[in-house]
Amino acid sequence: MARRVLSLYLGRKIELDTIYLEELFLEVPNRHRNAWRWDAGINYFSAQGDKRWWQDHRIPAAMAFSVNSVGHMVKSRVLSGALNGLNDLLGLGPDDSLAHNIDSLADALGFAMRTIDQASNGPAIRGCCVFL
């Protein structure tokens, strides 16, 4: 069932034991509509993750997919900082919805790894990933 849902999402046939990537874009809000593009990994979570080390991502009786890109996270921080700078110049004040403090790829990777490491005190299977 997960293979079928992912094939509908990506628009292609899905094989087992294969890493699939999604294109992720960040558009600059200007008249040129410039955009950056990243390949982002697709992760699968389901009830099979119950009682595993990453217990905050178990989906009892269901399944979910996530698409993440630390490059996108960093570049969006640069863009949000510039937009808040413009807001300041115009006297509009900061936009709290644009705030986060991930300033570099190293910060983003460190944040991601700390999130994984602190996710659970369950049985250790750290470093093990399951891809469709």
Sorted by where each begins, the domain ranges of the chain are 2-117
| pLDDT score, position 132 | 39
Name the more confident of 11 and 64: 11
Q: Where is average pLDDT lowest: 14-23, 37-46, 93-102, 122-131? A: 122-131
Buried residues in 57-71 as b, exposed as e (16+ CB within 10 A): bbeeeeeebebebbb
Q: With beta carbons less than 8 A apart as the criterion, state whether 98 and 27 touch.
A: no
Nearest to 75 by CA among 127, 126, 40, 116: 40
For the chain, count helices (H), then strands (E): 3, 3
Q: Is this model's pTM higher than 0.75 or not?
A: no
Neighbours of 80 (CB within 10 A): 16
Query: pLDDT-based confidence at 55, cuts 50/70/90?
Result: low
The enclosing H or E element of 121 equals none
> How far apart, in whole angstroms, are the C-alpha atoms of residue 72 and residue 105?
10
> How far apart, in whole angstroms, are the C-alpha atoms of residue 49 and residue 36?
33
Segment 49-74 mean pLDDT: 70
